[in-house]
Amino acid sequence: MHVEKNIFDNIFYTVMNVSGKTKDNLKASADLKLYYKREGLQLFEDNGRVMKPPASYVLDNTKLQCFCKWMTELRLSDGYSSNISRCVNLKNLSFHGMKSHGCHIFMQ
């Protein structure tokens, strides 16, 4: 179950674009330019700074807010899973502290 939690964390943090937790970073984008010819995903320069274009699978702020609100309102059967809504922070639009079984239930 811990392997499943690691996979869940990697996918979830990448989709939510959590800094420091996502696997979609500048080094990965540089490798994309080196090995693949995908113009829409390559790094570009803007006023001397290297920028990474947003990926199509990353949630923007409105979708992220909608998702976090849905997570706080989610109700599951008693004893089926822990209270997932306690893992969501609507103020920061962040998600933390989900245990292995909760990740398993969420992925199902």
Q: Which residue has the tokens 């706080």?
A: 72
| Residue 1 pLDDT | 64
pLDDT at 2: 79
In this prediction the pTM is 0.69
pLDDT in tens, the chain (108 residues): 678 888 888 788 777 777 777 777 777 777 777 777 777 777 777 888 877 777 777 888 899 899 889 888 887 776 676 777 788 888 888 877 788 887 787 777
Q: List the chain domain ranges.
A: 2-107
Place of tokens 């979609």: 24
- How far the first Cα of the chain sits from its last, in Å, is 13
User: What does DSSP say about strands 44-46 and 88-89: parallel, antiparallel, or unpaired?
Assistant: unpaired
